[in-house]
Amino acid sequence: MRIISSVSEMQSYADSLRKEGMTIGFVPTMGALHEGHLSLLKKSIETSDKTILSIFVNPAQFSPSEDFGKYPKDFERDEKMAEELGVDIIFYPAKEAIYPNGYSTYTIVEGLSDRLEGKSRPSHFKGVTTVVNKLFNIVKPHIAFFGQKDAQQALIIKRMITDLNMDIDVVICPTIREDDGLALSSRNSFLSPEARKEAAFIHQALKEAESLHLNGDQNSEILIPKITDTLNSAPIARIDYVAIVDSETLLPIESTKQGALVAVAVFFDTTRLIDNILLTAVK
């Protein structure tokens, strides 16, 4: 496994792989790898000739009040996990390589970036699309892999790829969960033992919404209060939002009959967790 920190070296290496006719699979991450990331990497290794993992904690997607400074970092552990899995290259740039002095260009996907997460974290997706656009130009992938847990991020990146005529396929992989249903996230490591126990209510609330939907309760005005009640059974939980939206536009919908994305964001102490479930159309 090769570790590359220089942008120009990564670009030349990607060019040489492309010249040899190899397909490049790409998994962009902020490190602190867990089974969720590993599932994306496994998929890439299975389907691409070479797999590139990027590790870069992107300051542009954190607001000043967020946890950039304390975002978990352990490069040696990540490197070991990637090597054991069969990753070919880790792209591990310094902040200055991505945002040199005088940096002033941003990529914004309008509309989608302002909904759900975008309402609570106003400049978050501007930071995400900017860095992912840059990483695509550096790593030059044929296929990029993202997780369903960050459903809005995946949708926005797909929109950016279409709008900017990028020749990149996106594969969205299922959310990986703990035994009690909690979606894996690097931020789970911040949860106190009590908050960790209570965080299982998130998946429970989403699964309850799914069974109600499947059993004929498809009115958002009924489902949202039910989800809210279940989340509120966790005494530490502080709900940021519970939303039932169209899975392509992310705009609120009144009924889940034609299918829907149910998305929630919940604080446990200062740790903010997100999760979602896709409801399929019912006949």
Q: Does 150 bind ligand PAF (CB under 6 A)?
A: yes
Q: Does 113 bind ligand PAF (CB under 6 A)?
A: no
Q: Number of residues interacting with ligand PAF: please give it, by CB under 6 A.
A: 10
Q: Identify the H or E element spanning 27.
A: strand 24-29
Choosing from 37, 124, 203, 213, which is the catalytic residue? 37
> Catalytic residue at 203?
no
Q: How far is the CB of 128 from ligand PAF (least distance, A)?
A: 5
Residue among 141, 159, 155, 176 nearest 35 (CA): 176
Helix axes 75-85, 35-47, angle to 10 degrees: 40
Which residues are CB-neighbours of 212 under 8 A, at least 6 positions away?
222, 223, 226
Task: Identify the residue whose tokens are 């964001």.
Answer: 265
Q: Which of 48, 51, 58, 276 binds ligand PAF (CB under 6 A)?
A: 58
Q: How far is the CB of 125 from ligand PAF (least distance, A)?
A: 9
**Would you give the end-to-end CA distance of the chain in angstroms?**
50
With respect to ligand PAF, which residue has the nearer C-beta, 36 or 218? 36
Task: Identify the residue whose tokens are 């997607």.
Answer: 61
**In the range 122-141, which residues lie near ligand PAF by CB under 6 A?**
128, 131-132
CB 264 within 8 Å of CB 202: yes
**CA count, 13 A, side-chain hemisphere, 165:** 0
Q: How far is the CB of 180 from ligand PAF (least distance, A)?
A: 23
**In the range 173-192, which residues lie near ligand PAF by CB under 6 A?**
none
**In the range 24-43, which residues lie near ligand PAF by CB under 6 A?**
28-30
Tokens of 58: 């992107």
Q: Does 10 bind ligand PAF (CB under 6 A)?
A: no
Q: How far is the CB of 258 from ligand PAF (least distance, A)?
A: 28
| Positions that interact with ligand PAF (CB under 6 A) | 28-30, 58, 61, 128, 131-132, 150, 153
